[in-house]
Amino acid sequence: MYNVRILLYDGFDELDAVGPYEVFRTAAGFGADCDVRLVTLDDRETVTANHGLEVAVDGQLNPEASVSTDLILVPGGGWSDATEPGAGMEAKKGDIPGALAAFAEFGMTVAGVCTGGMLLARAGLLEDRPAITHHSALSDLEDAGAEVRDARFVDDGDVLTAGGVTSGIDLALHVVEREFGSDIAAKVAREIEYDRRKESSSAVEIERTDG
């Protein structure tokens, strides 16, 4: 079973999370051995997203209890104003970046969609690594030490990042293809009526040589 956990917080962008969620759920319907759940770090029943959507969560996630998790996906939203709920506030608080660093220590794959990638950067996971985030935060990503790429999404093995909002769907379809094959990924894209970008222009998949 490939276990995906989408880590929510108040102020996250709806599509950053719901797009990938639908991709993984649809993949499971086509036979992928995949389970996806919406989770939070704190014990709560709902989260309020950036545009006011209230989302029920499936449970709480912490590093000690998440050893069976394969992929942690973090949505973005609200990066520019740390006084309002969103990624900027979460970066300032530090709980999510700290948890992401711990998740990485457990050997999990970590993905950031949109400015969720900045929470990965704040966790120290993107230094000297290729990455992308929403165009509004590219200078912040560069200042964090990442190698900024002009790409729809970037696959650097155990760390993936996507540019923003709809690119999270491309990232999720890429993960489905990587883990379960091109046939299931194609079926998912057709089912959700999504026109995938060509990999040659939309994705940078990095083959790491430093072990």
| Cα separation values, 66 from 4, 126, 187, 209, Å | 11, 22, 30, 28
Select the more confidently predicted residue: 165 or 132. 132
Q: Assess whether pLDDT exceeds 50 at residue 200.
A: no
| Fold of domain 2-205 | Rossmann fold (3.40.50)
**For the segment 81-116, what is each residue's pLDDT rounded down to a tens digit?**
999 999 999 999 999 999 999 888 888 899 999 999
Would you state the pLDDT for residue 66?
Answer: 57
Residues of the chain above pLDDT 90, percent: 82
Q: Find the mean pLDDT for residues 121-143.
A: 95
Task: State the pairing for strand pair 153-155/147-148.
Answer: unpaired
Residues forming beta bridges with residue 54, ordered by sequence position: 48
Select the more confidently predicted residue: 199 or 119. 119
Confidence of residue 211 (pLDDT cuts 50, 70, 90): very low
Confidence of residue 210 (pLDDT cuts 50, 70, 90): very low
Q: What are phi and psi of 76, to 5 degrees?
A: -105, -160
| Alpha-carbon span 69 to 89, nearest angstrom | 25
Supply 190's token pair.
């057709």
Q: Assess whether pLDDT exceeds 50 at residue 196.
A: yes
Would you state the pLDDT for residue 107?
Answer: 84
Q: Are 188 and 26 in contact (CB under 8 A)?
A: yes
Q: Assess whether pLDDT exceeds 50 at residue 34.
A: yes
Would you state the pLDDT for residue 62?
Answer: 73
Q: Are 124 and 178 in contact (CB under 8 A)?
A: no
Q: Assess whether pLDDT exceeds 50 at residue 208.
A: no
Q: What is the mean pLDDT of the chain?
A: 91
